[in-house]
Chains A and B, each alone.
Chain A
Amino acid sequence: MSVVGLVVVVVALVAATAFGVLRRRRAGSLRVAAATETVGADVLGSSLGERATLVQFSSAFCRPCVATRHVLGGVAGSVPGVRHVEIDAESRLDLVRRLDVTSTPTTLLLDRAGRERRRATGVPRRDAVLAALADIVD
């Protein structure tokens, strides 16, 4: 048996566990957007919601994108003036680069002017989306 191998196994498992726990803690919450980019209906390829727009970046190899679609679709269906727009990230690399989207699902919460106000990676929690909407919709 290799002692070096044993050390590598332990390091890999500890590192993976730390990464997994951090990830899980971060996932689903909407953070205040660092850079306030404005996304117009022209670049989005779809009209903005009257009060807010939930822009979801999805990709082919993304399992949680389906659950995200259900959450955001449900919110858009129940809150008037809120639109859900899903974008295939791989076919819109221009937008992905401009908004610095690195993983899927990524959700941007845009206000009525198309300014990015919040961002979430992973499946956003419904209550977190509703709270963020209440914050930005005046």
Chain B
Amino acid sequence: MYVDPRGPRFGAAVTTAVLAVVLLTGNGWLLAAQALVFALGAFGGLRFAPYGLLFRLFVRPRLGPPAQLEAEAPPRFAQGVGFGFAVLGAAGYLSGLTALGLVATAFALAAAFLNAAFDYCLGCEVHLRLTRLLGRPVTRYVTDNRRREAHA
């Protein structure tokens, strides 16, 4: 599936704001809600991503058509990484391990901000390193897709 690349970037900007509010207020439930947002995008697909919905309803109509469409897998992978950090952070805040909450949220905030401001590609940096570490791909999602396309 292909998406308007401005959608995930808009989502990253909203995520940056939400995570900053989490850090400022120390609200573990808000971070848990953000974890759910990440989960919907990562496991359900970007068409279920809540911030993507906001983009399509309110932002996209004000913009022209995108210069090009991009594959869904890279931003979806980034949502999965965000989910991991958000779960860790929420567990920290809600269990009283505030330091864990602060550190995990700080990493998620830095990644979301890099994505929003610099169009940073988290999957480019992280996925190959993880694969090297584990000796096999973390997920086969796109390679399977490519194979399907090749057979079609």
Contact = CB atoms under 8 A, between A and B. Distances in A.
A5 B23 contact: yes
B117 interface: yes
Contacts of A89: 128, 131
Given A59-B124, A61-B73, A64-B121, A9 B135 contact: no
Interface string A49-86: 00000000101111111100000000000000000000
Contact of A62 (B74, B109, B110, B131): B74
A103 B120 contact: no
A5 B25 CA distance: 7
A13 interface: yes
B117 to A, nearest CB: 6
Interface string A101-126: 11111000000000000000000000
Nearest to B124: A62
B24 A61 contact: no
A12 B129 contact: no
B128 A101 contact: yes
B23 A9 contact: yes
Contacts of A9: 20, 23-24, 106, 109
Interface in A25-69: 57, 59-66
Chain B interface residue count: which class? 35 or more
A16 B113 contact: yes
A127 interface: no
A61 B127 contact: yes
A108 to B, nearest CB: 15
Nearest to B8: A63
Contacts of A93: 131-132, 135
Interface of B: 5, 20, 23-26, 70-71, 73-75, 77, 102, 105-107, 109-111, 113-114, 117-118, 120-121, 123-129, 131-132, 135, 137, 139, 141-143, 146
Identify the 5 closest CB pairs spanning chains A and B, nearest first. Answer: A61-B123, A60-B142, A20-B118, A16-B110, A5-B23
14 contacts: A13-B109, A15-B110, A17-B117, A20-B118, A23-B118, A23-B120, A63-B121, A64-B121, A93-B132, A93-B135, A97-B132, A101-B128, A102-B132, A103-B125
